[in-house]
Amino acid sequence: METVRLLEYEGKAIFQRYGIPVPRSELSMTAEEAAASAEEVGFPAVVKAQVLSGGRGKAGGIATVQTRAEARREAERVLKLRVSGELTRALLVEESVPHSDELYLSITLDRGRREFVALASRTGGVEVSSLPREAMAEVPVPLSGLSELCASSLATKVGLEGRTRAEFVSLVLDLEKLSREEECELAEINPVAVRDDGGVVALDSKVVLDDNAIFRHPEFSRIPPEDPLEGEAAANGFAFVRLEGGVAVVGNGAGLVLSTLDLVSDAGVKAACFLDLGGGAQRERVEAALRLVRRLPTAKAVLVNIFGGITRTTDVAEGLRDVLAEAPMAPVFARISGAEEEDARTILAGAGVPVFRNAQEAVRAVAAWVSR
């Protein structure tokens, strides 16, 4: 199952829809916007890098600021920050919430048990990563949803009392409802801040959606990806990763594309991209993918490796032929096999595309061309 992890601000937007309390915040794309946002939410404010990678706090991606000038300075720094290689995409500027304690709470899929569980801990924040699973309190989540009795049991296991206990029980029920209705693989709050008055607030969000459900969430994401071509690929329904070599590798199925990348590397050349059309690729998607590849400045050649199972090889061939007729692009080398392959070979031959019986032959040919 593929997943889509949301940025913090996106997860908190869902939290608000389900009544989960979060700090007042504003999304900012520039240092000047962040400075204005900090004034809007009030000082002290917290400037937070919006990245999908974990460990942003230890990497310097979270800063508490006291003045507009400090907010601008820290925002400029954080916007240049990479966390585990990922460049900061935007900033979330939010009010600083005074609190006396931090808890951990999540609704997560336990793959081994094939069921969802609610996990909680009296220890929240960065230290939770060092806790063994056995140190977590947990209750199973029935398919029908979590009952108030089960949520209360979790609060008891964590040792909560009074107002904090009551609000935590409501938080568990709201988070479980969110997880079930939004089809999440994981819905996590770390930390859950416990204010001095006993109230609770979600200081962070980690929401992972099943990719099969993402079409039901058109609001995600307003932030463009670091590479605009990746955003274009996602909008057209295929996977694309830019690489540094000269051979654009296009195939249908992640396994096939990855094995082709290995063959390209073994042949002594480097790939310019990973492009997976996906199963059942339609002609329009093929054409969009090839138009994208044509704009790759490092691509000296294109290697198309297609197995016709769900995907019709004639759709791929016709799409490739039409894109080649539109404008010049790097030489294309193709390996086509499967349903309707003979018709596809005829179409590609008419377009001047050399077609090979197996991937090894195609890779040798493209490597020889690129290495000239």
- pLDDT at position 219: 65
Residue type, 279: G
How far is Cα 231 from Cα 240, in angstroms, rounded to an integer?
Answer: 9
Residues 284, 318 contacting (CB under 8 angstroms): no
Q: Would you say the pTM of this structure is higher than 0.95?
A: no
* Domains of the chain by residue range: 24-95, 101-216, 228-370
pLDDT, tens digit, 9 for 90 and up, residues 95-106: 999 999 999 999
Q: Which two tokens stand for residue 96?
A: 């600083």
Listed in sequence order, the residues at least 6 apart from 114 whose beta carbon sits closer than 8 Å to its beta carbon are: none
As a whole number of angstroms, the distance between CA 314 and CA 283 comes to 9
* Other Cβ atoms closer than 10 A to 19: 12
The sheet with strand 62-65 has its strands ordered as 25-28, 91-95, 45-49, 62-65
Tell me: pLDDT of 2 over 60: no
Predicted confidence (pLDDT) per residue in 193-239, tens digit: 999 999 999 999 999 987 777 677 676 655 556 677 877 887 787 88
Residue keyed to tokens 């007042």: 24
- For the chain, what is the radius of gyration of the CA atoms? 25
Instruction: Please check the confidence at residue 370 and state whether its pLDDT lies above 60.
Output: yes
Which of these CATH numbers, 3.30.460.80, 3.30.470.20, 1.10.1200.10, 2.70.98.90, describes 101-216?
3.30.470.20
Average pLDDT over residues 87-98: 93
Q: In the block, which residue shows the tokens 């890779």?
A: 363
Under the banding of pLDDT at 50, 70 and 90, the label for residue 293 is: very high
Residues known to be catalytic: 104, 188
Task: Note the pLDDT of residue 163.
Answer: 97
- Which top CATH class is 24-95? alpha beta
Q: Which of 161-175, 213-227, 231-245, 311-325 is most confident?
A: 161-175
The per-residue pLDDT of the chain, averaged, comes to 90
Confidence check: pLDDT of 1 > 50: no
- The helix or strand, by DSSP H or E, that contains position 304, with its residue range, turns out to be strand 301-308
Q: Which CATH architecture has domain 228-370?
A: 3-Layer(aba) Sandwich (3.40)
